[in-house]
Structures are given as C-alpha cells and as structure tokens.
Amino acid sequence: MAPADDTPDAPVRSRGPRYRRRLRSRIILSFVLLGVGLTSLFAFLTQEARNRVENALVEDVMNRNIDEYARRYYVDPEGNPAVPVEQIRARVVKRERFEVLRQEQPDWYDLPDGIHNLGGVDEDGSPFSYKLAVRKTPDEWFFLAYDMTQAMQGEEQFRRAVYGAVLLFTLLSLFLGWWSASRVMSPVSELARRLGRSGGSTTPEPLAPHFPDDEVGELATALDDYAARLTEVVQRDREFNADVSHELRTPLAVIRGAVELLLSRPELDDKTRARLLRIQRAEQQCTDLISALLLLSRNERGHGATDVARVAEQLFDAHRGQLGSKPLALRLDGGHGQVVVDAPESAVTVALGNLVGNAVKYTQQGEVVVRLLDNAVEVIDSGPGLSAEDAARLFERGYRGTHAEHSQGGGIGLSIVRRLCALYGWSVRVVPGVQQGVVATLSFAPEPDAAGTA
C-alpha cells in the first residue's frame, strides 16, 4: 500500500503547552527593570559626584594648608609651626633625616609631590585611610596627613543608604508595574472572556458595545467584523454542503432505482450484469462519501451499529470486479471475533475503504488482508512499502506518494480518514510491514485524549 496523504505513524497529537511569558508579566518586568535601572544609575551618579566633590574639597584644603605650613616654617625654621586645620597632622623632614624617613616611613619616602591616598589596618584590625600631601625641596620635605577614616565610614553609610533606596524603589516599581498591568490588562482579559463565551454560539454576541472607544474597543470592533465574516462563510459553507448533498442524492437515487430495475430483468447477459453491479457499487460509494463529508462539514457525530466485517466484505466485492488479471488475493481474517462500531456505516465505509483502496491500488501481486482485532482493524498488503518521504507526509492533504506515478487520485483520501478519526475519537496508524508492504491500523477505541488522535 502506498500513501496518498499525511504522516505514517499518524496519531496527530496536540502539542504540549509551551511556556509563553504573559503580557501582564512583561509589563511588570518592564516597570521593575526601568525602576532598577534608573535608580541604580542615579545612585551611581550620586555616589560618584559625592566622592569627586569630597576629594576636590579635601585636596584643595590640603594644597592650601601645605603651602601655608611651608610658609610658616620658613618664617621660623627653628619653631614648630601650627597647622591651620585641626584635622590635619603635619611633619617636616630635613635633609639630614631623609635616610631616617626611609627607615621609618618607606611608603612616604618615594612619593612625589602631590596628594596621595594611603591606607592600611591599625593594631585593632580596623581599616583606616588618609590623604597625604607631599612637598619636597632639596633641604626639606613637607608632609600633611588628613585622616579620611571617618569620611570612609560615612561613605560606607551613604552606600548602604543608596542600596536601601535602590531596593525601596525596586519594590515601588514592582507595585506600580503590578497596578498598571492590572489596569491595562483588565479590559483585554474581559474581552478574552467575552470572546470565549461567544465561541459556543452560532450567532456570537457583539463585543464592541461593552468597551470604550479606545484601542481595546477598536480590537473588539475588528473581532466583531471578523466574526461576522467568518459566520457568513461558515453559513454559506453549510448551506452549500446541504444543497450539494440534497441535489446529489436525487440523481443518485434515480441511478439506484434504474440499476435495480435493470438488474431484475432475467434476460441480462453476464457482461451487462457485471457492469450494472459496478454502477451500483459506485452509486453506493458516492452515497457513503456524501454522507461522511456532510458529517464532517457539520462537525457532528452520527450513530449506528456498523459491522466492520460486513463492510470489509462489501469493499472486497467492489474491488474484485476491478482487479482484472492482476494476481491479487483479497482476504478477510476475522479470527478476533466481531467488531461493531457506534457510527454510521457510511463513515466506517469511507474510513476503511480508503485504506483498502490504497492497498489494492498499489499492490501489484500477492494479497491484501483485512484483519479484525479487538475494537480495531488492520489492512495488510504486500505492496512496495513506505519510503521516508511518504512516512513524513502520508496524511498531508493533496500529497501523493512516491509510488503513485500516473495513478488517478487527488491525494485527499487519507486526509478524509484523518478528519473522520478526529471527529469520532478514533486513531489511524500506518507503518511499514515486517518484510514488505504496509500495515495500516484503524482503531475504534476512544483515545484518552481524543484531540490528540488522528
């Protein structure tokens, strides 16, 4: 059996729910990121400005005071000039004590003129920091130290306050984002609820009157227009299907009556009788197909008690007259007992008939077996098998398999089977045979997830 339409192992299963970030969450996240970003940037700039201003002020004070200290020293070199600012400690080192300074303060000895940041850890293990102003002359070196420990502690307190402000504004942004998202999404959620409620009616309720003249109102108006056009299309499609079904049934009934009348004549020769029987089978096939397509168009399940074995025999009888000289045997294996399906005979005939028809069409010799299983049926052929491309596209509408070549058919047979399976909760499975051919399994047992079967 070669394929005519969609995927071989073709339970068509609905895809699992993929994670999608909700619009409400995106709005909240945007507010939080904006709040964190702006607050962090403001905190960084504030901290940087504070440090720069503080350093500029301290260095300006130290530059002025070291110049003043040097001036006072030269006025009275033998004295100990006082430092103008109380927080500053001063020291002057004469030429003869330069080497002593190297031993006592090696980190001071190599410092050039200017202001330097120094620090360390005291005997208690507490960190300290100070700024050191250096002025070096050939005979004297002047040092002014400004204790920055308290400033460093103040900077740490300021940094903690900034971190607290960032956290506070982040929480505020979260609250504002949640509140704004609720206000923004409330009409959208209401629109979705009303749209969901109106989906079960053939005449959906207008949505636009329930919303103000804003973006959501425009969306509701567009949905109303789309629903109206869609309803019109569906109504026209239903009317067309009903009209076609009604108009075709009349000539088919005429054909059936005429054929039955002709078959009742005893003087018919065998050749004419065979042709009339073929016409009768074609009429019955058209009637069954119309009934099945009408069920699909209305999306409604018909009921009945259809014997699958009897349907299979009828299908075999219809195909035996078309085999000609093809060495092909058609056999029914009913070893698993009777299979009765709660569906109209037309639906079962179309579903099973497409599988049997493909098997007969693409099997040149050997046999086609219909095997009854427990609430299922298998169609097994000895044909050319199933290619990888056919396996991927077997139930695709309009696809004709690699073995189709010049055979007739539009590639929609298995697509109809798939739609019937979706309507009744059946499943169809087509796989390569063990050694050759194809095994098609039509299961009539309802799947746990009916939407996931084909």
Q: What would the DSSP string read from start to end of 146-165?
A: EE-HHHHHHHHHHHHHHHHH
Give the pLDDT band of residue 333 (cuts 50, 70, 90). Answer: confident
Chain-wide mean pLDDT for the chain?
A: 78
Its pTM stands at: 0.51
**What tokens were used for 349?**
């005939």
φ/ψ of 120, rounded to 5, equals 175, -160
Distance CA 97, CA 103 (A): 10
Residue 18: the pLDDT is 45
Residue 84: is its pLDDT beyond 70?
no
Closest CA to 136 of 158, 118, 109, 163: 109
Contact status, residue 241 vs residue 293, Cβ threshold 8 Å: yes
Helix or strand or coil: residue 429? strand
Which whole-number Å values give the CA distances from 20 to 17, 23, 24, 32, 309, in the listed order? 9, 9, 11, 19, 48
Closest CA to 411 of 426, 427, 394, 428: 394
**What tokens were used for 192?**
């979705």
Residue range 301-452, CATH number: 3.30.565.10
Contact status, residue 12 vs residue 425, Cβ threshold 8 Å: no
Topology of domain 199-300, CATH = Helix Hairpins (1.10.287)
Distance CA 81, CA 100 (A): 22
Residue 453: the pLDDT is 39
Mean of the pLDDT values across residues 17-34? 73
Residue 447: the pLDDT is 55
User: Could you report the per-residue pLDDT of 250-299, keeping only the tens digit for each?
Assistant: 787 888 888 888 888 888 888 888 888 888 888 887 888 788 877 777 77
Distance CA 12, CA 429 (A): 10
Helix (H) or strand (E) holding 379: strand 376-381
Distance CA 384, CA 390 (A): 12
| Cβ-proximal residues to 255 (8 Å cutoff; 6+ apart), any chain | 279, 283
Q: Can you give the residue ranges of every domain in the chain?
A: 23-156, 199-300, 301-452
User: Could you report the per-residue pLDDT of 29-72, keeping only the tens digit for each?
Assistant: 888 888 888 888 888 888 888 888 888 888 888 888 888 878 88
Distance CA 422, CA 12 (A): 9
